[in-house]
Amino acid sequence: MNSNQQVFELGEYRLTSGQTIQDVCIGYETYGTLSGEKDNAILVCHYFSGNAHAAGPANDADPQPGWWDSAIGPGKVLDTDRYFIVSGNSLANLNACDGCTVTTGPASLNAATGRAYGADFPLVTVADFVHVQKRLLEYLGIDRLVAVAGPSGGSAQAIQWSVEFPEMVPRVVAVISPGLYVHPYAAAMMECWTKPILADPAWKGGYYDAAHPPLEGLTQALHLLTLTALSYDVLSEFGYAPAEEKRPPSESLANEFKADAMLNEIARARAQALDAASFVYMVRAFKLYDVRERLHRAKASYLFLPVETDLVFPPHLSAAAVNELRAAGLEAELFMLKGNGGHLDGLTKLDQAHGVLGDFLSSC
């Protein structure tokens, strides 16, 4: 293990479905200092393909900054001079094969069989992610949070927190959010992401050999995911340029456009570190996410931060969530993030909301 992640060993965990899984472990990272009163903690939940490495360099060998490094740190939007930030891996985390991400999911060893669970791993839900995070916070001695925050799938977890453990969550920061549920259109789009994996002969019904995973299917799934996470403006920068000047696409089907080649290159590189079954499980978990019938439990205030060019979870979904929360008697507001980068701007443009978010986190 080559990582700054610490490991929380949960042991046996009973899923919301009633099934149990053994030897549950998740990795987590923290930033800043927990106050003596333990009253300055913010939980940051990761997005669909993220992990607990939310900020800072991982280690000397892999100095890549965390996925929300633009937002977490001294003087930043989530100020580590003031707040203690906790970020933990989900169950069935996609990064199970990267050598740094500690998680329990389909890629984990099933002690009963001596091989990876594969499709024998029970389905998990966003509520399960939250319940495991709750156990992590108990382990850290934290019984009340300043807020729960996260982008995309992380925002779904943050909102789920507010109905699962309302006494702990006075504030929710929902960035590039699906809202209170995943809209059927977005759910169908996510299901399309899984189809190349399921069609790959190496998938074998989810019981593939770890040494021979459905890599081609996973690559094409990530190709689709990356495309939807970008915007029209980003792809227009490539236009119809050929991937190779001497191989114009007008002369052969084998000759690629630059935009297609770029997306495939990104996807193929990412596929090396991700687990295909965990990808499919994560899609199902978010398709099952829906807190609308449980809003009566919530006591939080909500701040939604959509991105104007987001094609995955367009701003109107956040606006609808604000209206639904207000109709339920809860406080909710929206601040639009500007940018032409699409969904991914939710990871890099949070500084635009510095003042709004600062006031929100300080509100009574």
pLDDT tens-place string over residues 130-148: 999 999 999 999 999 999 9
Active-site residue flag, 223: no
Neighbours of 142 (CB within 10 A): 19
Return the H-helix or E-strand segment holding 14. strand 6-14
Judged against a pLDDT cut of 80, whether residue 156 lies above it is answered with: yes
Quick check: 3 pLDDT over 60? no
Phi-psi region of 20 (alpha: psi -120 to 50; beta: other; left: phi over 0): beta
- Active-site annotation holds for 152: yes
Q: What six digits make up the tokens of 126?
A: 């966003």
Which of the following is catalytic: 69, 128, 275, 310?
A: 310
pLDDT at 254: 93
pLDDT tens-digit series, residues 10-65: 999 999 999 999 999 999 999 999 999 999 999 999 999 999 999 988 666 556 78
Residues in Cβ contact with 363 at an 8 Å cutoff, skipping those fewer than 6 apart: 171, 301
Provide the mean pLDDT of the chain. Answer: 95
What pLDDT score does 60 carry?
A: 62
Residue 80 has a pLDDT of 97
DSSP-derived secondary structure letter, 211: T
- CA separation, residue 279 to residues 80, 109, 195, 252, 343 (Å): 31, 17, 11, 34, 19
CA atoms lying within 13 Å on the CB side of residue 222: 26
What's the chain's Rg over C-alpha atoms?
A: 20
Q: Which residues of 223-260 are buried (b: 16+ CB within 10 A; e: fewer)?
A: bbbbbbbbbeebeeeeeeebbeeeeebeeeeeebbbbe
177 φ, ψ (degrees, to nearest 5): -95, 150
Q: Check residue 63 and give its pLDDT.
A: 64
Distance CA 174, CA 150 (A): 6
Q: Please indicate whether residue 362 is annotated as part of the active site.
A: no
pLDDT of residue 237: 87
d(CA 340, CA 274): 28
Mean pLDDT of 338-350: 97
Domains of the chain: 6-182+290-362 (3.40.50.1820), 187-282 (1.10.1740.110)
C-alpha span between 320 and 303 (Å, rounded): 13
* Lowest-pLDDT range of 20-29, 232-241, 313-322: 232-241
pLDDT band at 110 (very low <50, low <70, confident <90, very high): very high
Using DSSP bridges, classify how beta strands 6-14 and 20-31 pair: parallel, antiparallel or unpaired: antiparallel
Angle between the N-to-C axes of helices 153-164 and 126-139, in degrees from 0 to 180, rounded to the nearest 10: 70
Give the pLDDT score at 240.
87
Cα→Cα distances 264→77, 251, 335, Å? 33, 21, 33
**pLDDT category of residue 212 using cuts at 50, 70 and 90:** very high
Calpha distance 150→50 (Å, rounded)? 11
Active-site pick, 3, 108, 152, 318: 152
What pLDDT is recorded for position 264?
94
**pLDDT in the model for residue 57:** 80
Q: Is 30 helix (H, G, I), strand (E, B) or coil?
A: strand
**Closest listed residue to residue 27, CA positions, set 5, 59, 1:** 5
pLDDT value at residue 112: 87
Q: Per-residue confidence at 167, pLDDT binned at 50, 70, 90? A: very high
% of the chain surpassing 70 pLDDT = 97
Partner residues linked to 257 by β-bridges: 242
Query: Tokens 């009566």 label which residue?
Result: 296
- What local confidence, expressed as pLDDT, does residue 1 receive? 35
Question: How far, in whole angstroms, is CA 343 from its chain's centroid?
Answer: 12
Percentage above 90 pLDDT, the chain:
91
Confidence of residue 2 (pLDDT cuts 50, 70, 90): very low
Say how far apart CA 147 and CA 135 lie, in whole Å. Answer: 17
